[in-house]
Amino acid sequence: MSTTALSRVRSGAAPRTGRPGAVWALPGLLFFGIFAVLPMGLVAYLSLTSWGGLGAPRFIGMENWSRLAGDTVMHKAIVLSLVLTVANWAVQTPISLLLGVWAAGPQRNRAVLSAVFFTPLLLSSAAIAIIWKSLLDPNFGPLAQVGPWLGYPGADVLGDSTGAFAAIVFVSAWQFIPLHMLLYQGGARQIPESLYRAAEIDGAGRLRSFWHITLPQLRHTITTSSVLMVVGSLTYFETVLILTDGGPGTDTSIVPYLMYQVGFESWKTGYASAIAFTLVVVATAVSLIMVRLTGFGAMRSTKEGM
């Protein structure tokens, strides 16, 4: 390894190796610094202040944090966020994996059906939430007709704690399964055919080759897809805002929604920053753990001899 100084000098001309200096990363790093890292620092600072969005923030030390520690709504929000994350993962992973593997197969109707399955990806989260809100209307939507069969005689799905939460899990599955299905489809296509042949010769059935070949071969895809799902679930916002508004009561007020409500409706900006910072810490911890456990995104150097 050369010293930094040397490489800086080289970065200008670098006549023989053509290697770029760290300067190449500077514009992007600065940009990212101003709009992502700096805000993180500000969140930490604001969490120590009392501020209503007007005038200057007043430094109050750990007051927000001690209140946060005893805030039952926040505790509930954290639990809800975690449950949502687990539920999203548990619902979306098997369905998208199976659909993805299926779509990678040779069936003739596959292309047409895949195209239909792709449609939710054309719609934004806001659009999807609006569609489902109208579909779940208890008096004037299709749910009013089929609700009684599903155990909701009043079709009061969004007004019921379990129902509203289930609706959010369902709508996010509807929205995100197509994306994850595509990931798995891409992954499944790269499994060498020879593995299946060999298994077939060994007399393995469909189930066994799925279990012993497909699943292990897809482990990287499973990791990627899971990280995306987890981070996505922790920061889920629009759907809750539009579909349930955090209700009934606070029964679907997950952390990002609570932060929005406290910050931009109640205007307790300092307190909202403490919530936000908690979210950052949780999301960072969760993804670092996942990265550690799975090696996702590691400096997987293939050809560089480092």
Partner 1 sequence: MKQMTPAPPATPRERPADSGAVQVPDAPRRRRRRPIRRPNLLAGAGVFLWLLVVGIPVYALIIATFQRSSDYRAEGPLTPTGDPTLQNYVAAFENGLLGFVLNTLVVTAAVVALVVFFATTIGYAVIRSRTRWTSGIFRVFLFGLAIPAQAVVIPVYLIIRELGLYDSLTAIVLPTAAFALPVCVLILTGSMRDISEELYEAMALDGAGPVRTFLQLVVPLSRSGISTVGVYAALQAWNGFIFPFILTQSHDNRLITLGLFEFQGQYRVDIPGLLTAVLLSAIPIFIVYLVARRSLVNGLMGVGGK
Partner 2 sequence: MNTSRAGAAGAIAIGLLTVTACGGGGSADGKMHVWMYQDSLAVVQKSAVERFNEDADIEAVVDEVPGDTYQDKVRTVMGSGDQPDVFFNWGAGSIQPYVEQDMLLPLDDALESDPEFADAYISSVMEAGKVDGVQYGIPLRGTQPVILFYNKEVFEDVDAEAPETWDDIIDLTDTFKDEGITPFALGGADAWTEQMWLQYLVDRQGGPEVFQRIQDGDSEGWRDPAVLKAAETVEDLVERGAFGDNFASVSYTEGAASDLLAQGKAAMHLMGSWEFSTHLDQAPEFAEEGLGYVAFPALPDGEGDPANVAGNPTNYFSVSADSEYTEEAVEFLKTTSSEEYVQDMVDNGEVPTTTGAEELLKDSPDPDFATFQYEMVQDAPHFQLSWDQALPPEVATPMLTEIEKLFNGQISPEEFVDAVAELQ
- Residues in contact with partner 2 by CB under 8 A are 33, 37-42, 44-46, 51-57, 133-134, 136-140, 153-161, 164, 245-251, 261-262, 264-268
Contact 258/73 with Cβ under 8 angstroms?
Answer: yes
268 binds, among partner 2, partner 1, none (CB under 5 to 8 A by kind): partner 2
Contact 254/80 with Cβ under 8 angstroms?
Answer: yes
- Least separation, in Å, of the C-beta of 72 and partner 1? 21
CA-based end-to-end distance of the chain = 9
Cα separation, 137 vs 262, in Å, equals 27
Q: Which is nearer to partner 1, 60 or 121 (CB)?
A: 121
- Least separation, in Å, of the C-beta of 142 and partner 2? 14
Q: Which is nearer to partner 2, 204 or 242 (CB)?
A: 242
Helix (H/G/I), strand (E/B), else coil: 98: helix
As given in the structure block, the two tokens for residue 72 are 């039952």
Cα separation, 100 vs 102, in Å, equals 5
216 binds, among partner 2, partner 1, none (CB under 5 to 8 A by kind): none
Sign of CA dihedral 111, 114, 116, 122: negative
64 binds, among partner 1, partner 2, none (CB under 5 to 8 A by kind): none
- Least separation, in Å, of the C-beta of 261 and partner 2? 6
Q: Which is nearer to partner 2, 28 or 203 (CB)?
A: 28
Contact 166/239 with Cβ under 8 angstroms?
Answer: no
- Least separation, in Å, of the C-beta of 86 and partner 2? 23
61 binds, among partner 1, partner 2, none (CB under 5 to 8 A by kind): none
- Least separation, in Å, of the C-beta of 51 and partner 2? 8
Q: Which is nearer to partner 2, 166 or 179 (CB)?
A: 166
| CA-to-CA dists, residue 54 to 50, 98, 195, 267, angstroms | 11, 52, 64, 9
Q: Which is nearer to partner 1, 83 or 144 (CB)?
A: 144
176 binds, among partner 2, partner 1, none (CB under 5 to 8 A by kind): none
Whether cis (ω within 30° of 0) applies to the bond prior to 248 is yes
Q: Which is nearer to partner 1, 192 or 249 (CB)?
A: 192
- Least separation, in Å, of the C-beta of 171 and partner 1? 10
Q: Output the CA angle 22-23-28, nearest 5 degrees.
A: 100
Numbers of helices and strands, H then E, in the chain: 16, 2
Q: Which is nearer to partner 1, 251 or 294 (CB)?
A: 294
- Least separation, in Å, of the C-beta of 126 and partner 1? 4
As given in the structure block, the two tokens for residue 289 are 């753990």
The helix (H) or strand (E) run that includes residue 221 is: helix 219-234
Q: Between the CA atoms of 282, 288, 291 and 297, what dihedral angle is there, to the nearest 10 degrees?
A: 110
- Least separation, in Å, of the C-beta of 160 and partner 1? 20
155 binds, among partner 2, partner 1, none (CB under 5 to 8 A by kind): partner 2
SS3 content of the chain, % helix, strand, coil (to 5): 70, 0, 30
248 binds, among partner 1, partner 2, none (CB under 5 to 8 A by kind): partner 2
122 binds, among partner 2, partner 1, none (CB under 5 to 8 A by kind): partner 1
